């Protein structure tokens, strides 16, 4: 019985470590390029909720996922339910995924219908 519990405990620790590593993969900024970039596109989907509110947009480059701040940062930036609609055009400034085959950008700022939403003011750079 003791051996079974030890193996279960070991497997649980391994599973927890793998989960934490995958969760950390898209938290923080290590997964993004260093430089900020801008892109514009038409909103095709809006999700406001945990873990990260996001937009899906179509650009001349194809479909992109736009990760906003965490739910509180997104709300504090003024972006709440009803602020944007599918079909609206968005201008995003942020950091693209460092993986060239991954079409994700972590937004520092987004402009929709003339209104500016800054999710990470401390990181905003005007290059």
Report yes or no on whether pTM surpasses 0.85: no
pLDDT at 126: 73
pLDDT tens, position by position, 85-97: 999 999 999 999 9
pLDDT at 124: 78
Q: How far apart are CA 10 and CA 65, in angstroms?
A: 36
Residue 28 has pLDDT above 60, yes or no: yes
pLDDT at 32: 87
Q: Between the CA atoms of 67, 108, 101 and 48, what dihedral angle is there, to the nearest 10 degrees?
A: 10
Contact between 97 and 107 under an 8 Å Cβ cutoff? The reply is no
Q: Would you place residue 18 in the very low, low, confident or very high pLDDT band (cuts 50, 70, 90)?
A: very low
């Amino acid at each position: 019985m003791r051996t079974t519990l030890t193996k279960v405990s070991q497997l649980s620790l391994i599973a927890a470590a793998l989960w934490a590593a995958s969760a950390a993969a898209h938290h923080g900024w290590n997964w993004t390029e260093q430089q900020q970039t801008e892109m514009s596109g038409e909103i095709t989907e809006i999700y406001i909720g945990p873990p990260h509110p996001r937009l899906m947009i179509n650009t001349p480059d194809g479909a992109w996922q736009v990760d906003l701040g965490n739910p509180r940062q997104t709300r504090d930036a003024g972006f709440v339910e009803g602020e944007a609609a599918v079909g609206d055009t968005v201008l995003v400034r942020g950091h693209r995924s460092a993986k060239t085959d991954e079409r994700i950008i972590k937004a520092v700022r987004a402009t929709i219908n003339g209104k500016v939403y800054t999710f990470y003011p401390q990181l905003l750079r005007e290059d």
